[in-house]
Amino acid sequence: MLLDYQTLVASNLILQLILAAALGFAVFLAKKKNFQRHCLVLRLAVIAQILAILALMSPAMGQILEPGRPDGLFRAEVLVHHGLGLAVVLLWIYINLVYLRHLKARLAPRLAMQAAAGLWVVSLILGFHIYLRLYY
């Protein structure tokens, strides 16, 4: 049984709310110095996010940015949202490679983590705005 487009969009919205809660919980765990659980929560959240990007967001972005659609601020907002999301994934990969000692840190890990969290929040807010512009 294939799901219709609206169901996929609603599922992604719910997933993004769950991932935002997971990000908040991970920050809480870090403040409590429970770093092992913090890392586990974030790894699971980022993997879920990557799957959502591949399965749900990329096809939708392709339709939004296809030739013939009007240019403008909305298109720029989608591209910024996309760029921020990619930056989060790249920072997450970098942070994990540093912690696994496959790379030498060129950026302080805490700063990289704070940047990834901040970029994720901004991308999430833009994503919600894009959702509202498209469906309401």
- How much is the pTM? 0.85
Are 124 and 81 a contacting pair, CB within 8 Å? no
Residues 35-69 pLDDT 10s: 999 999 999 999 999 999 998 888 777 777 777 77
Write out the H or E segment, with its range, that includes residue 126: helix 109-135
Tell me the average pLDDT of the chain.
90
Q: Looking at residues 64-82, what average pLDDT do you find? A: 84
Rounded Cα–Cα distance for residues 27 and 22 (Å): 9
Least confident of 17-21, 42-46, 55-59, 86-90: 55-59
Predicted confidence (pLDDT) per residue in 95-127, tens digit: 999 999 999 999 998 999 999 999 999 999 999
Alpha-carbon separation of residue 109 from 92, 97, 104 (angstroms): 10, 11, 10
Distance CA 53, CA 48 (A): 9
**Given a cut of 90, is residue 1 above it in pLDDT?**
no
